[in-house]
Structure 1
Amino acid sequence: MAPEVTCPWRNHLSRFQMRTWIEPVVASTQVASSLYDAGLLLVVKASFGGGGAANRSSGASPRDTQEDHQQTAISNFYIVYNLVVGLTPLLSAYGLGWLSDRSNRKISICVSLLGFLLSRLGLLLKVLLDWPVQVLYGAAALNGLCGGFSAFWSGVMALGSLGSSEGHRSLRLILIDLILGLAGFCGSMASGHLFKQIAGHAGQGLVLTACSVSCAMFALLYSLLVLKVPEPVTKTSKVLPTVDTVSGTVGTYRTLDPDQLDRQSVVGHPPPLEKAKTQKTIIALLFVGAIIYDLAVVGTVDVMPLFVLREPLSWNQVQVGYGMAAGYTIFITSFLGVLVFSRCFRDTTMIMIGMVSFASGSLLMAFVKETYMFYIARAIMMFALIPITTIRSAMSKLIKGSSYGKVFVILQLSLALTGVVTSTVYNKIYQLTMDKFVGTCFALSSFLSFLAIVPIGIVAYKQAPRLQYGDIPEK
C-alpha cells in the first residue's frame, strides 16, 4: 500500500478551525451570567431585608407583613431593572447588527460583552463598597447601551449559522444552546456556595461577584484576541432530487427549508410566484408563535425567584442556586429531545411538543406546595427550549446569510421588548395575587403557552400539502 500522505498545514488549519468555535465565549459568558443572576437576587434580598420594620405593628402577623413588604420591594426593583435591561438595547442593538453584517461579525459580540463586564463590575462594587441598590440600574443601563443580550445572542447565532451547512445548522444551534445550559447549570450549582464564602458582614457575596467578573473578562478577551469569524459554508445545490424523497416526512428540521421545497424545480422550471408570499407568511407566523411563547416563558422566569423565596418554599441561598440549576437542565433535555424527535417528527411537531411541555409544567407549578413538587414541575418542562431554537433555525433557512445579523437582532429585540412588558405586568399581577393565589402567574403562562400552538399549527397546515407531494419532482 502507498504511504499515507499528510498535509503539513493540517495542524495549523485544525487550530484555526478551533478558533472559529463560539462555544468558549458562550460557556464563559453564561457562567458569569448565572453567577450574576443568583448574586443579584441574593444581594437585593439582603438590601431589603430590614425594610419591613415600619409595618410590624400594623398587622396581626408581623412575620407575614415583613415578608410581604420584602417581596413587594424586590418585585418593584425587578420591574425597574427589567425595564432598563429590556429597553436600552433598543438604542444600539440593531445598529450593532447592521455593522456586523457590513463590517465584522464580531462587533456585536465584543461590544455586548463589554457591557456584560461593566454590569458585573457594578454588582461587585455595590457589594465591595456597600453602595445603594439603585446603582445597579446604572450598571444595567450600560449593559443595554452596549447591545445587551439581544446583540450578543444574535451575533452568536449568526456565527453559528455561518459556520454550518443547512443540513447541520439546527443541530449546531441546539448544540450551542446545550453549551449554554451546561455552563449555566454549573454556575448556578456553585452560586449559593460562593455567596456564603464571606458571611456576617456587608461583604457577603464578594467571592461570587468576583468570579462573575473574572468569567466575563475571559469571554471578552477571548472574543477579541482568539475568536475568528468562520468562512460561510457553501451549500451544495447540485444534488439529485431522489436523494431527499423522504425529507419532510422525517423530522430533520428540513420541513421549513426553502431549498427542500424547491427541489421540484431542479429540472429548470422557475419557482412559483407564490413562494415568496408563502415564505413571508411562514416567517410572520413563526414570529407570532415565538413572541406569544416567549411571553409565557419570561413571565414564569421573572416570577419564579420571588416565588421560591416566600412561603411555602422559603428557600435559602444554596437552595436558590440549586433551583436555578434545575432550570438549566432543560438545555440538556431539549438537546436530547431534538436528537430523538428529529428522526420521526417534523419541526412544527417538535415546536408544539415543546410548548405543551412548558404549558403542562407551568400549570403544575401553580399548585406547588413542597420542594419536590417544584422539581417535578421543572422535569415536565424538559422540552421547553425546543420551540424558540427550532423557530430561529427555521428562519435562518428562509433568509440570506448576509441578513443574519439584522434578522436575528430584530427577532431578539422583539422578544426583549415583549419581555419588558411581560415582566412589568407579571410582577404587578404577582404583587396583587400573592396573598390570594400565589400561582396565578404560572397558570397564565400555561394558557399563553397553549395559545402559542395556534400559529404553529397554521404553519403545519400550510406545509402539509407541500410535505405530501412536493418532494416528488414532476416529469
Structure 2
Amino acid sequence: QVASSMVGVTVMRTWIEPVVAGSQMASAFYDTALLLVVKNYYNQTNATAPSHALEDAQQKAVSNFYIIYNLVLGLSPLVSAYGLSKLGDRIHRKIPICFPLLGYLGSKTLLLLLILLGWPIEVMYGAAAFNGLTGGFTTLWAGVMALGSLGSSESKRSLRLIIIELVYGLSGFLGSMASGYLFVGFSDRYREGTVLVSCSIACYAFCLLYSTFVLTVPKPAASCPAKPKSAENVGSQLPAQTKSSGSTPVSSSKLIITMLFMAAILYDLAVVGAMNVLPLFLLREPLSWNAVQIGHGNAAGYVIFITSFLGVFVFSKYLKDITMIMIGVISFSAGILIMAFVRWTFLFYIARAVMLFALIPLPTIRSMLSKHVEGSSYGKVFVLLQLSLVTTGVVTSTVYNKIYQNTLNWYSGFCFILSFLVGCLTLLPL
C-alpha cells in the first residue's frame, strides 16, 4: 500500500496541469487589468476632448497601444524561444517552462509599479520585451505540449493535449469571471487594478515554485514509434489518392507536416485577428460594455474549452483526427460570421455558442505532428510551430488593428467577415 501511494505521488508530480491552471488564471487577471488600466490612462489623457469625440479618440489610442504592445510581445520571443526549447530537448525539459515563468513574474510586477507609482503607459512596452526575451508564451506552451506528449501514448495523445487545453480554459474562465469584480470591487480602497495585478503575480509565483521544486519530467510512453511508422499510421487518415502517390513514408510524412503547418497558420491567422479586435469592439457602441460585462464575455469564450474537450472526447472514438479538425474550423468560421452582425448582447452569446468546437483544431494538429517526429524532437517541432503562429499572429494583429481603425465608422464588424473568409481557406490544406 505504501509502495502504491508512492507511485501515485510520483505520477502526480509529472502533472503539468497545475502550471497551466495557475499561469492561465494569472493571465486572465492580467489581461483584464491591462485593458482597463490602458483605457483609464487614455481617458485621463483625452479628458479635454469633447464627449462625442472622446470615445473614438480613446478607441484609436487603445488600439495603437495594443499594436505596438503585441508587436513587441510577439517578436521578442524570436530571439530566445528556439534556443530555450533546444536546451529543453537536450539538457532538461523544465528549462522552457521555468524561464518564461520568471519573465512573466517580472513583467507583471512592472504593471503593478506602473499603477502604484503613476508611470507612463509606455513602460508596458519594456515589460512586453522582457516577457518575450525570457521565452514568453511561445516557449512556455511548446514546453507544456512537449511534456504532455512525452507522457502519453499515440492513441491517447489528442485526448491528453485537449485535457491540457481544457484545464487552460477552465482556469481562464474562473479568472475572467473574477477579474471584473476584483478590478471594480477594491477600487475604493486601492488604486484601480492593484488587487487584480497582485493576484496575477501571486499565481505566477506559485507556478514558478511548483515547476522548480515539485514538477518532474514523465518517462516517454511505451509507444513512441520512429518517423517511417508514424507516417504510415497518419497516412491512413489521408484521401486515397495521396496514399497511392508512390512517395516514400518519410517524404509522405514531410508533406503531411507541411500541410498541417499551413492549416495551423491559416487557422491561427483567422482566430488571432478576430480575437485581437473583439475587446475594442465590445468597449464601443452599440455594446459599450463595462468591466464586469467584459469579464463575463471573456468567460463565455473560455466555455469553448469545455465544449471542445467534450467534442474531442466523443469524436475521437468515431472520427479521424482530420475530420475533427475540419469540424472545429467550420464551427469557428460560422460563429465569427454571426459576430460580424452583433448589435445586442444576446447575439454575442449566440455567436460564442456556435463556436463551441473552435478549439479542437490546434491541439489535434499538434497531436498529428507528434506522430511524425521522434520524442527527442518534440520541443523543437512544437516551438517551430508556436514561432510560426506567433509571427503570423503579430503581423495579423497589426493588420487587423489598422483595418479596424479604418472601418470603425463604416462597419465595425468587417474584421470578423475577414476572419470568416480566412477560416474557410484553412480547409484547403486539410
> TM-score, length-normalised on structure 2?
0.94
1:184 counterpart (157, 172, 186)? 172
2:94 and 2:211 in contact (8 A); partners too: yes
Matched, 1:35 2:8: no
Which amino acid counterpart does residue 33 of structure 1 have in structure 2?
S
1:74-223 aligned within 5 A: 74-199=62-187, 203-223=191-211
What is the Cα deviation at residue 12 of structure 1? Answer: 1.4
| Deviation, structure 1 residue 261 | 5.9
Give me the whole-angstrom Cα distance separating, in 1, the residues matched to 2:233 and 2:46. Answer: 62
Q: In the alignment, is the contact (CA less than 8 A) between 1:127 and 1:202 conserved in 2?
A: no
Aligned to 2:427: 453
Which residue matches 2:378?
A: 404
| Distance in 2 (alpha carbons) for counterparts of 1:381 and 1:273 | 37
Letter aligned with residue 38 of structure 2: V
Q: Distance in 1 between matches of 2:316 and 2:152?
A: 18
Query: 1:441 maps to what in 2?
Result: 415
**Alpha-carbon deviation of 1:365?**
0.4
Please give the residue correspondences for 1:181-330 in structure 2 after superposition, counting only pairs within 5 Å: 181-199=169-187, 203-235=191-223, 257-258=230-231, 260=233, 274-330=248-304
1:122 CA drift (Å): 1.3
Cα distance per residue 1:29-61 (max 9 Å; x no partner) = 0000011011110110011113334542xxxxx
Q: Secondary structure at the match of 1:382?
A: coil
1:71 is aligned to 2:65: no
Greater helix fraction, Structure 1 or Structure 2: 2
C-alpha separation between the residues in 1 aligned to 2:35 and 2:190? 15
- The alignment status of 1:19 with 2:34, answered yes or no, reads no
The residue number in structure 2 matching 1:50 is: 44
Which aligned runs of 4 or more in structure 1 are off by greater than 4 angstroms? none
> In terms of Rg, which structure is larger?
1
Aligned length: 418
Amino acid at match of 2:165: D
* Helix, strand or coil at the partner of 2:44: coil
Q: Which position in structure 2 is the counterpart of 1:384?
A: 358
In structure 1, C-alpha distance between the alignment counterparts of 2:414 and 2:373, rounded to whole Å? 39
TM-fit CA distance, 1:170: 1.1
- Identity among equivalent pairs (%): 58
Paired with 1:202 and 1:176, the residues of 2 have a C-alpha distance of 35
Counterpart in the other structure of 1:247? none
Distance 2:94 2:415 in 1: 38
CA contact (8 A) 1:355 1:450 kept: yes
Pair 1:362-2:356 in alignment: no
Contact 1:257 1:394 in 2 (8 A): no
Aligned residue number for residue 402 of structure 2 = 428
1:372-426, CA deviations, whole angstroms, 9 ceiling, x for partnerless residues? 0001001111111011111011000110100011110000000000000000000
C-alpha distance in 2, partners of 1:23/1:119? Answer: 23
State the alpha-carbon separation in 2 of the partners of residues 93 and 223 from structure 1. 18
For normalisation by structure 1, the TM-score amounts to: 0.86
User: For the residues of structure 2 that align with 1:394 and 1:236, how far apart are their CA atoms?
Assistant: 13
**What is aligned with 1:347?**
321
Q: Once the two structures are superposed, what CA deviation does each residue of 1:195-246 show, in whole Å capped at 9, x if it has no partner?
A: 0123258711111111000001000000001000111112187xxxxxxxxx
Paired letter, 2:264: A
Distance 1:257 1:106, change over 3 A: same
Once structures 1 and 2 are overlaid, which stretch shifts more, 202-211 or 282-291? Answer: 202-211
Q: Is the 8 A contact 2:154 2:224 kept in 1?
A: no
Task: List gaps (5 residues or longer) in structure 2.
Answer: 237-245
Q: CA RMSD in A?
A: 1.6
